[in-house]
């Protein structure tokens, strides 16, 4: 297992996932009572987009860089962009001083530091909210700890994300969400996701559970959707965007977010964000989005 998210940081999948994640966390902030967020596959937390790994395929060029300077973004997108920008100016670059970079390769619209899910949740959560961050790779977990500096709201656990669901759900706050965002590099990932949702829903009926997934053809994620439908959980939906034509079997054409117990107003956010996003991100003629209730 050697997946490293820095190779993909700020790509269209991150943009889509992070805009909706921020919206869900903001919804949790509507009530005063503190909440907890369990991020089962947290990653490094902060990504240096000018680092050689991020520039290898420069995936942010097809994601963040396409919307960074937008002046007509719907509110949830504008909020996301503001957090990303504020984050970039407040963080000092940690590697590769810009002087050592070839200016022709530097993307002017891309920020240097890109916040991953733990950093975004930390930016929106309040003083008494709690972040339970889980990362299996020791080096990545150490990087995550370093990036959080002394944020006392957050604890990093170096362990398996699916075991973390068993260990930490339900949280004592009884309010909050679980983000399941695995790399999908191993067989049986969808089975583990379903098992975790099943345990999660049994123990925490009111919890919000989000699963990010890649869309390839044929759709390996469809079997999970069928099982969620059959489970008849009180409320569940999936949001998907497609931004590329399928060039061959298994090529990535888009991504989706499965949300069990979405917050009030989530579908309105989706309807304002997705048409705008595919307009910006999709290859001509291949942009599509959908919102489907699974309950």
Q: Give residues in contact with ligand SAH (CB under 6 A).
A: 1, 3, 5, 17, 39, 41-43, 116-117, 134-137, 140, 160-161, 181-183
CA–CA separation, 124 and 230 (whole Å)? 34
Q: How far is the CB of 135 from ligand SAH (least distance, A)?
A: 5
Q: How far is the CB of 232 from ligand SAH (least distance, A)?
A: 28
In this complex, which beta carbon is closest to ligand SAH, that of residue 161 or of residue 171? 161
**Closest C-alpha among 260, 248, 249, 194 to residue 221:** 194
What per-residue string of b and e applies to 76-102 under the rule 16 or more CB within 10 Å gives b?
Answer: bbebbbebbeebbeebeeeeeeeeeee
Are residues 164 and 72 in contact, defined by beta-carbon separation less than 8 angstroms? no
In this complex, which beta carbon is closest to ligand SAH, that of residue 85 or of residue 205? 85
In this complex, which beta carbon is closest to ligand SAH, that of residue 27 or of residue 117? 117
Helix ranges (H only) for the chain are 12-28, 52-57, 64-67, 75-90, 117-124, 138-147, 161-168, 189-203, 222-231, 266-281
In this complex, which beta carbon is closest to ligand SAH, that of residue 140 or of residue 270? 140
In this complex, which beta carbon is closest to ligand SAH, that of residue 52 or of residue 205? 52
In this complex, which beta carbon is closest to ligand SAH, that of residue 17 or of residue 112? 17
Q: How far is the CB of 280 from ligand SAH (least distance, A)?
A: 20
Residue nearest ligand SAH by beta-carbon distance = 116
CA–CA separation, 36 and 261 (whole Å)? 15
Q: How far is the CB of 262 from ligand SAH (least distance, A)?
A: 18
The bridge status of strand 154-157 relative to strand 130-134 is: parallel
Are residues 197 and 209 in contact, defined by beta-carbon separation less than 8 angstroms? yes
């Amino acid at each position: 297992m050697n997946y490293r998210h820095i190779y993909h940081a700020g790509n269209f999948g991150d943009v889509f996932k992070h805009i909706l994640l921020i919206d869900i966390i903001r919804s949790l902030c509507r009530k005063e009572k503190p909440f907890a967020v369990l991020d089962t596959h947290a990653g490094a937390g902060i990504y240096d987009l000018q680092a050689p790994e991020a520039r290898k395929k420069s995936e942010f060029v097809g994601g963040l860089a396409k919307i960074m300077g937008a002046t007509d973004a719907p509110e949830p997108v504008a909020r996301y962009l503001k957090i990303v920008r504020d984050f970039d100016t407040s963080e000092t670059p940690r590697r590769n001083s810009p002087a050592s970079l070839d200016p022709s390769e530097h993307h002017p619209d891309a920020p240097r530091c890109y916040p991953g899910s733990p950093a975004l949740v930390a930016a929106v959560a309040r003083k008494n909210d709690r972040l339970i961050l889980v990362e299996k790779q020791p080096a990545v977990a150490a990087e995550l700890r370093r990036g959080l500096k002394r944020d006392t709201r957050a604890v990093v656990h170096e362990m398996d994300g699916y075991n973390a669901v068993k260990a930490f759900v339900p949280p004592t706050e009884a309010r909050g969400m679980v983000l399941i965002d695995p790399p999908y590099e191993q067989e049986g990932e969808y089975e583990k996701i379903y098992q975790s949702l099943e345990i999660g829903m049994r123990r925490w009926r009111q919890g919000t559970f989000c699963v990010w997934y890649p869309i390839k053809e044929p759709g390996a994620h469809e079997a999970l959707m069928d099982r969620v439908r059959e489970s008849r959980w009180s409320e569940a939906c999936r949001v998907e965007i497609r931004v590329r034509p399928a060039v061959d079997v298994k090529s990535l054409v888009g991504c989706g977010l499965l949300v069990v117990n979405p917050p009030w107003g989530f579908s309105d956010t989706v309807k304002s964000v997705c048409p705008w996003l595919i307009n910006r991100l999709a290859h001509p003629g291949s942009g599509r989005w959908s919102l489907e209730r699974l309950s």
